[in-house]
Structure 1
């Protein structure tokens, strides 16, 4: 449980030098990160320098995925010849090995593209060349630096975490989002912040309890805001009617950084943190505060006969400012997953976990039974769960999937005729295509592709055979899931757009179409 700890001052790591003349700059690029690291953790410098070329290549490869498939500004032509992709932008040409734009694989350090005939290895420099003046260059430079720092802090292969340490297994994921070039962007954080709060650095810390006047509180929870310590200091500065009620017992950050698990067990807390991670500032919307507890009860009834559990969002609350319930001063409390449940993103990227799988075809057949087929059944019932590698966990028994656990209701879609309670925000829809896209983009275009790639690399499984198993499992549902091109969110195009929160899509061939 989250409880109040003895009154101690919160770690002031986001202003470590406030009494000195120099304050470290947030969102550092690789050089700025190295400068800060020399002061904070000189023991990591050698590892950071060693990891940097691989981090450049990993982010560059994610950017090449966008160049290969997305509708990007300024792109005029795209063609392939002799194993190379040739792109013509308005004022620039880019050429690279087509195989470099292969998802879910680690590119070689030193991956190089030709830009107007000159070699280039830095994805931030490539971004600046293609889209001059775009803020995306800074985001990608920060992603490179933070990825190198994450790898420096985790130099040896991860081992299975004990299920008796809540949240530890989620910290096995080092590289972040498998497709997004901003996979490790943390806009607004210093290197000290990363070391203090980012899950890949394995910290523990207390949240702050901020008392809110009852007439300024919205939601089902008591009027006490659980605030991330990074957020708490400037909230107290901006809102003098908040009262600091001291720290909680220690918590451990999960894959999403702003969601935490108490180290002594109990419900998870999703906090608001004004930091851009991948594509968005991570706040808790008034709609999420309203919807979570109501929607949880509905989904538990909807899935009661399936091998899939939706974790209940038990309480939520937000402080009310001049703008109403404020997404920057909000939290949500969620049921913890069962001990040992493994996020699919961790499973697919951790050799120690993949080693526990005896037969990849048996494993994947079980996975279709407890994950993909239930997701399709829930879609038939009018709800599309956004089942990606962070939101979706698998319970294993002797290396075999036995049950799925789903969390985080903010990204789902619910048909207006599904019988759900009154919902706020963009969750309700009467468009079957929107529901199908939500499910297919997360579960099929991301989770299925990543898991099949992992099984083919680690266990030499035949991808076509695995896709056929999946097609068979989905035979009872909408045939478009098996035949239509797979939607993939065009994350780089969205970052470059005037409205970066408006969904854009690209589409890939559906490997199940051959078995439909």
Structure 2
């Protein structure tokens, strides 16, 4: 069935005809699959999130029916909140079929829906572009982390805005997005050292006398810094070539060395990707604390060190230098480090035995860290696994400490030193700590790796053999938290995360959506 192209789909097609006409046919062929992928993610949200205009949900043998405020009716297949394969091809709204997420949201007419519909349209078109640019199947196996990361084509496994990149032209996506495998030339902005906040060790090669050279993403230089004069010609110096990683704004220098996290002041998926002064201010202390904590894990968890962080007292002009995950793999023994988000494309992960072994490792390590006093944001981008030459999961690597949560009370209980930190990283709230870990590791990384509720239930069952703690008991018996990503996009006036609860596949415990700040 041929559907009329949406505005974003038409715009991408038109620009592609000018900048990369050879991709035009592949892009057109990819549209139907991209529409189903985004619609599947949206249907998950409609089925499980506490959306205020959904009054009732009813399951039947033919699928799920939603009664909306005002008596309207939505109908679609029975949802699987852990499914990663697109299984939703159409949804009925009062009997009318919709196969494009943006048009469905526009037809719903909900508050803030027009802006969200535009994002969904952009996400769908961008996802089709991402899929169109992929090499033929059967290319050589990936070796480095950046090669694995560039194989994550579809973005966030559950967010309808999985590929939303407002402000990026087609040419810029092809030039900067990791799935298109470009080499990006970072620039350097020279700033007097006295005008910067620096923590950790800023390297000599990024200094020029009394000035710091801050790495800058070319999109940021063109669209943000040029407005202030800092990205103008003569101020922005040539820098170095780097491979973009999964997050797009973090890159691995082609010459090797520290990974570079840059500011990128646009909304990608859900968040604006700048670097706050708080993150720079706390970077060294958090990194040192995390390194000491990892020593309690018997070598099963390595945490990449933050080597240096600097900001010109602006979230738009800052950078973080981070240890590359490869340093924790023995290349001579054939070991390699793979982000969990990239595991879905590897053949060995289809084995139930492999998934069980990996789940045991991830659950035992991350729950132990939580018990000690730290909730990791262990989603598929931050959490990596070291694999043996035969593909066996050996140990974990965690990166990006900017959004973990630290519990002073738990640390004291285990006789661990409490870091001299304050602000959003620090909390003893049990609910917040569990949401941080469970919402990223369980209903994020492990759920997406499993790809279905049935397979996720098998993975989650590995926790039953772990030492009994209150956190493990909650994991095994209570509904599981997941971020209400669509509700958050439809609630621009409510800051912070909002949450839904998913059925626990181990117990059948029924989840119920709820708001949370």
Q: Which of residues 14, 19, 29 in structure 2 aligns to 1:40?
A: 19
Counterpart CA distance in 1 for 2:391 and 2:119 is 38
Instruction: Give the aligned partner of residue 244 of structure 2.
Output: 253
Task: Report if aligned partners of 1:318, 1:326 keep a CA contact under 8 Å in 2.
Answer: yes
Matched, 1:139 2:119: yes
Matched, 1:346 2:342: yes
| Alpha-carbon spacing, 1:464–1:167, altered in 2? closer, same or farther (3 Å) | closer
User: After alignment, is 238-247 or 493-502 more displaced?
Assistant: 238-247
Instruction: Give the aligned partner of residue 421 of structure 2.
Output: 423
Deviations 1:181-221 (A, max 9, x none): 00000111111110000011110021111001223211233
1:289-438 matches, within 5 Å, as: 289-306=280-297, 307-319=300-312, 325-338=313-326, 340-347=336-343, 349-350=344-345, 353=346, 355-356=347-348, 359-361=351-353, 363-397=354-388, 398-417=390-409, 418=411, 419-438=417-436
Instruction: Give the aligned partner of residue 187 of structure 2.
Output: 208
| Alpha-carbon spacing, 1:92–1:202, altered in 2? closer, same or farther (3 Å) | farther
Q: Which of residues 476, 479, 494 in structure 2 aligns to 1:482?
A: 476
Matched, 1:269 2:267: no
SS in 1 for 2:361: helix
TM-score of the two chains, using structure 1 as the length reference:
0.86
SS in 1 for 2:50: coil
Deviations 1:29-56 (A, max 9, x none): 1111111111111111111111101111
Task: Report if aligned partners of 1:342, 1:393 keep a CA contact under 8 Å in 2.
Answer: yes
SS in 1 for 2:315: strand
Deviations 1:312-371 (A, max 9, x none): 11100111xxxxx21111111100011631111100x20xx2x2359532x234324432
| Alpha-carbon spacing, 1:231–1:377, altered in 2? closer, same or farther (3 Å) | same
Matched, 1:90 2:69: yes
Displacement of 1:491: 0.2
Counterpart CA distance in 1 for 2:145 and 2:459 is 32
Matched, 1:115 2:115: no
Displacement of 1:120: 1.0
Counterpart CA distance in 2 for 1:143 and 1:474 is 42
Task: Report if aligned partners of 2:360, 2:462 keep a CA contact under 8 Å in 1.
Answer: no
Displacement of 1:100: 5.2
Structure 2 unaligned residues grouped into runs of 5+: 1-5, 330-335, 412-416, 510-517
Instruction: Give the aligned partner of residue 41 of structure 2.
Output: 62
Counterpart CA distance in 1 for 2:180 and 2:303 is 29
Displacement of 1:95: 3.2
User: After alignment, is 207-216 or 227-236 more displaced?
Assistant: 227-236
Task: Report if aligned partners of 1:314, 1:333 keep a CA contact under 8 Å in 2.
Answer: yes
Displacement of 1:424: 4.8
Task: Report if aligned partners of 2:260, 2:319 keep a CA contact under 8 Å in 1.
Answer: yes
SS in 2 for 1:175: coil
| Alpha-carbon spacing, 1:372–1:495, altered in 2? closer, same or farther (3 Å) | same
Counterpart CA distance in 2 for 1:434 and 1:292 is 21
Counterpart CA distance in 1 for 2:245 and 2:220 is 17
| Alpha-carbon spacing, 1:455–1:154, altered in 2? closer, same or farther (3 Å) | farther
Counterpart CA distance in 2 for 1:277 and 1:474 is 39
Deviations 1:482-515 (A, max 9, x none): 2121000000000000335421111012234479
Task: Report if aligned partners of 2:477, 2:504 keep a CA contact under 8 Å in 1.
Answer: yes
TM-score of the two chains, using structure 2 as the length reference:
0.86
| Alpha-carbon spacing, 1:440–1:102, altered in 2? closer, same or farther (3 Å) | closer
Task: Report if aligned partners of 1:70, 1:490 keep a CA contact under 8 Å in 2.
Answer: yes
Matched, 1:29 2:8: yes
Displacement of 1:267: 0.7
| Alpha-carbon spacing, 1:239–1:116, altered in 2? closer, same or farther (3 Å) | same
Instruction: Give the aligned partner of residue 213 of structure 2.
Output: 224
Task: Report if aligned partners of 2:82, 2:452 keep a CA contact under 8 Å in 1.
Answer: no
| Alpha-carbon spacing, 1:406–1:158, altered in 2? closer, same or farther (3 Å) | farther
User: After alignment, is 189-198 or 128-137 more displaced?
Assistant: 128-137
- Number of aligned residue pairs: 472
Deviations 1:112-133 (A, max 9, x none): 1111211111100111122265
Instruction: Give the aligned partner of residue 11 of structure 1.
Output: none
Displacement of 1:89: 2.1
